[in-house]
Chain A
Amino acid sequence: MAAITFDHVSKRFGEALAVDDLDLHVPDGEFLVLVGPSGCGKTTALRMLAGLESVSEGNILIGDRVVNELSPGERDIAMVFQSYALYPHMSVFDNLAFGLRNLKVGRVEVKRRVEEAARVLELEPLVGRKPRQLSGGQRQRVALGRAIVREPSGFLMDEPLSNLDAELRVQTRAEILKLQRRLGTTTMYVTHDQIEAMTMGDRIAVMRDGILQQIGPPATLYSEPANTFVARFIGSPAMNLLPAALLELGGDDQLVGVRPEHIDFGVGDSSRVSFEAKIEVVEYLGDEQLIHADLRGHALLAKVPIEFAIRPSSVATFNVPDEKLHFFDGPNGAAVRRRHPCR
C-alpha cells in the first residue's frame, strides 16, 4: 500500500489540454473518488496514473517513487475497467492468475491467492467457467478479483459499475467499499455519477475541463461548495442558483444558492429569508414531492415533505434558513464566505 501523488500534472493531446496542472495527494489507504462530467479529464488522470497515457508535465508518485517512465506492469497497481476487460479465452481461474504468473509468483502461492479471492468474492463455483458463461455481476466480480489477487499498492477503478443495472449497482457499491475497507488499499475511483461519489468516497475530487475544482469529504463538498459548478454538480436535485438581487441579498453579479431540500413553506422569522413564487408543476416522489416554481422569471426547485398540500398555479410563500444560503461571486462563480452581504 502506498500514497498516490499528482504533482502539478498536465496532459496535452495536441493543442487540447485534457488535464491542467492537477495537484492531488491521496494518503495511504484512502478511497478517493474523481468525479466530473464526461470529458472533464478524470479518466485521463487515472490512465496517466496507470501508465496507459504519458504525462505531458509534472510528476506522478506512487509511494515516494516517481512512476512517470515506468510501464503499467511495473507500477504495482491494479485496474478495474468499465467493460471489465476479462480475457475471453481464459477461465475465471486463469483470468485471476494471469497477473500473478506474469510476476513469476510460485504455483502454490498463485493457487492460494486465487482461491482466497474467489472465496471472498463468492466466485468459487465459477472458477472453471469462461467469461461468456457469466452474468454481468459475476464478470464484475471477476474483474475485482483480478485486482485484489495482485495485492497491489493501489486500486484504480474506471466507472466499474456503469454497466450494471440499478439494483446490482447499489449492491456492488457496498461490496467494493467493504472490500476496500478490509484491505485498506489506496483507491482512486473514477465516476460521472455524483451519488456514487457521495456514497463511496472518503474524499471527492471534482473536475471540470481538466481543472480540479474542489477536493474534500462528501459533507464538505455538499455544505461548502467552492464554486457554482461544484454546488450544482454535488447534490440531487441540483442547487438552485438565483440572482442575489432578486432576493435583495446582494448585487447584480452575485448569485445565491439554495438547495431544494432546504426550502420550506410559509413566512419565516428573522433568521430566514422568505419569498413568493408561482407553483407550476408538482412531482410526487412517494415520501416527498418536487415543486417546480417560477420566481419572477427564474426556475426554482423545492423538495418538501408530502404533508404539504400544494395546488399547481397557486402562489406560495417559501423560506430558507439563513445558514443554508450559499453566496457566489464574480464571473467564475467562486463561493464567498459572507452569509449576508446586505443585512
Chain B
Amino acid sequence: MSAVAVGQSARPHGKLRSLRRVSARVSVHLVLLVICAIWLVPTLSLLASSLRPAALLLSSGWWHVFDSPSQLTVANFRQVLEGGQLGQSFVNSLAIVIPVTAVTVLLGGIAGYVFAWLPFPGERLIVVVLVALLGLPVQVTLVPVLQLFSRLHLAGHFAAAWIAYAGYTLPFAIYLMRSFFRRIPREIIEAAQVDSASAVKICLRVAMPMAAPALASLATLVFVWTWNDLLVSLVYVGSGPDVAPMPVTIANLIGSQGTGLELLAAGAVISLLLPVAVFFALQRYFVRGIVAGAVKG
C-alpha cells in the first residue's frame, strides 16, 4: 500500500519537474534566438542592401527588401567585380593574411610552449608585459611605427603589414597558447623526456599535435582579424592598387558624398565569404580551442 501511495504522490511531482525542465530549456533557447537575431541583423541588412538598386537604397530602409522582391538585382556585384580592383585586392589580402597567420601561429605556438614549460629568468616579467600589451590601443603605435617603417623603406609594401599584424597579434597568440600548453599534464612531457626526446622534439612532436585545436582556433582568429582590418593596412600599406587589401579597396568604393553605398555593401558581402568559409571549415576546433585555456580539465 505504501508503495502505491508513494507512486501516486510521486507522479505529479515528476510531471511538474519535467514541465519545469522543458520550460527552462525553452526560455534558454528563446534568449539564444533573440541574441542570434540581434547579431544577424547587420549582416542581413548588408546582404539586402547589396541586392537593391542605388535609388531604392537611398529612398527606403533595407527591411523594405521584401516589399518588392522583383527589384532585387546582382548588378551591384557585377559592377564591383568588373569595374573595380576587387580581384587584385583579394590577391593582396591573401598575400598579407596568409604569411601573417602562418608566422603568428608558428611563433605563438613555439613561444607559448617555451613560456609554459621551459622556465627561464625573467619569464614572469615578460608574461606580465605581454598581458599589458594586450590592453594597448593600436592607435597609440600608429605614428611611431609608421615613422620607423618609412625610415626602413617598408611603408607601402606587404612587409610592413606582415610585421605590423604579426606584432599586434603575437601577444594574444602567445598568451592563448601558453594557457593551453599549461594544461598538458606534466607527466606526458616527463614521459617524453625519459623517452630521450630533445626539448625541440617534445615541443614539435608531442606538445604541438596535442595543441592542434588551439592552433586551429588561433589561426581562425588571426585570419579573420587580419582579413577584416582596415586601419593598420590603410596606415602602413596604403591604397596603391598593387598592395591595397580588400577593406581598403572596399572603403574606397564609397564616394566622398556618400554615394556608392550599394557598391560598398556588395564588396563587403564578397569580402565576408572567405572568413565565413574558414570559420566553418575550422569551427569544430574553434569552439573547443577557445574554451581550452579557460576550463580545467
Contact = CB atoms under 8 A, between A and B. Distances in A.
Contact size range, B? 10 to 19
A51 B191 CA distance: 11
Interface string B173-196: 000000000000101101111111
Contact of A87 (B193, B196, B206): B206
Say what secondary structure dominates the interface of chain B.
helix
A73 B210 contact: no
B197 interface: yes
Contact of A103 (B188, B193, B196, B209): B196
B187 A81 contact: yes
Contacts of A50: 190, 194
A85 B210 contact: no
B292 to A, nearest CB: 14
A102 B187 contact: no
B185 A99 contact: no
Interface string B250-286: 0000000000000000000000000000000000000
A220 interface: no
Nearest to A75: B194
Contacts, number: 63
B153 interface: no
A81 B191 CA distance: 8
A74 interface: yes
Say what secondary structure dominates the interface of chain A.
loop
Contacts of A83: 185, 187
Interface of B: 185, 187-188, 190-198, 201, 206, 209-210, 212
Interface of A: 50-52, 71-74, 77-79, 81-83, 85-89, 98-99, 102-103, 146, 150
- The 8 closest A-B CB pairs, nearest first, are A73-B196, A99-B195, A85-B187, A85-B191, A102-B196, A89-B209, A72-B193, A81-B187
Given A85-B191, A102-B196, 15 more contacts: A50-B190, A51-B193, A72-B196, A73-B194, A73-B196, A78-B194, A79-B191, A81-B187, A85-B185, A85-B187, A87-B188, A98-B195, A99-B194, A99-B197, A103-B196
